[in-house]
Chain A
Amino acid sequence: MKLDPAIRDQVLATVPSLRAFAISLCGNIDRADDLVQETLLRALAHIDSFQPGTNMPAWLFTILRNLFRSEYRKRRREVEDADGRYAESLKSHPEQTGRVEFSEFRAALAKLPSDQREALILVGASGFSYEDAATICGCAVGTIKSRVNRARTRLADLLAIDSVDDFGPDRATRAVLAGGGRS
């Protein structure tokens, strides 16, 4: 029995966003790609439990998140250990996790509790509705809303953004310079 090509294409179409989410959870692209592979193995082995016509991205994100929670997080310190490994991995692999100009923003993001970061990314970057994000995280819609709100409030505090100008190109340039002097 072959997989319906339409379903396969839906899976493939979700992979880029799935990787971005995985990287935001793991803070490391190699680990994230392992997680994505595991997710796809599991998803395709249980593809019968996916109902065609329903939300493929939400289904795959849910599997990935559950895998991350059950396996990966056990093996390592809590992600919200901001001074620890997550933050370290971001610092030591700037070229793997994205452009250096985001380093300041990433560092702030890394300081959020993992449940808040996850909610913010699902809603603010992945573009899921609050309802889908709640399904993915296995919690109430109100919980997602409050996590997103707290995440945004905390980010603004951490970045100490007094004005839009303070968050503009000059600040990005300073971040690049600061990043170059580090390590």
Chain B
Amino acid sequence: MSGKTVNIQPPAPDSDTPQAREGSARDDMGKPATHRKSEVRLGREVQARIGQQLRAMYDDVVRQGVPAHIADLVRRLSEQDDGTA
């Protein structure tokens, strides 16, 4: 279970800067124009912040990369396959 010891990284330094906020308010979640109505109702900035938190949480895991045991599994399976290699 070596994949469990996670190197927890510090928060992205720009995550709370006005620039970052504006940046993600621009195309947060890639939502199309049809969602503008609810967006206006909820507030673009609020939704931008939710999008940021969501991605930050998700990327925390993504940054862990491929755990060794899973990489081994994929390599083993792709080498053996059905044994005719």
* Chain B neighbourhood of A105, CB < 8 A: 53-54, 57
Please tell me if the beta carbons of A169 and B67 are within 8 angstroms of each other in the complex. Answer: no
Please tell me if the beta carbons of A106 and B66 are within 8 angstroms of each other in the complex. Answer: no
* Chain B neighbourhood of A159, CB < 8 A: 50
Main secondary structure of the interface of B (DSSP, over half): helix
Please tell me if the beta carbons of B57 and A102 are within 8 angstroms of each other in the complex. Answer: yes
* Chain A neighbourhood of B65, CB < 8 A: 16
B34–chain A nearest beta-carbon distance, Å: 7
Please tell me if the beta carbons of A11 and B58 are within 8 angstroms of each other in the complex. Answer: no
Please, how many residues of chain A have a CB less than 8 angstroms from a CB on the other chain? 53
Q: Which of B61, B66, B69 contacts A12 (CB 8 A)?
A: B66
Question: With A102-B53, A121-B58, A169-B16 as given contacts, are A164 and B46 in contact (CB-CB < 8 Å)?
Answer: yes
Please, how many residues of chain B have a CB less than 8 angstroms from a CB on the other chain? 52
* Chain B neighbourhood of A129, CB < 8 A: 30
* Chain A neighbourhood of B85, CB < 8 A: 1-2
Q: Which residue of B lies closest to A14 (CB)?
A: B66
For window 26-40 of chain B, which residues contact chain A by CB distance below 8 Å? 28-32, 34-35, 38
* Chain B neighbourhood of A148, CB < 8 A: 29, 31
Question: With A15-B66, A96-B4, A156-B50 as given contacts, are A125 and B58 in contact (CB-CB < 8 Å)?
Answer: yes
24 contacts across the A-B interface (CB closer than 8 A): A2-B78, A3-B77, A8-B75, A12-B74, A16-B62, A16-B66, A19-B64, A37-B70, A40-B73, A40-B74, A41-B73, A44-B74, A99-B60, A102-B56, A120-B54, A123-B30, A124-B29, A125-B58, A156-B50, A161-B46, A161-B50, A164-B21, A164-B45, A164-B49
Binding site for B on A (CB under 8 A): 1-3, 5, 8, 11-12, 15-17, 19-20, 23-24, 29-30, 33, 36-37, 40-41, 44, 96, 98-99, 101-102, 105-106, 109, 120-121, 123-127, 129-130, 145, 148-149, 152-153, 155-156, 159, 161, 163-164, 167-169
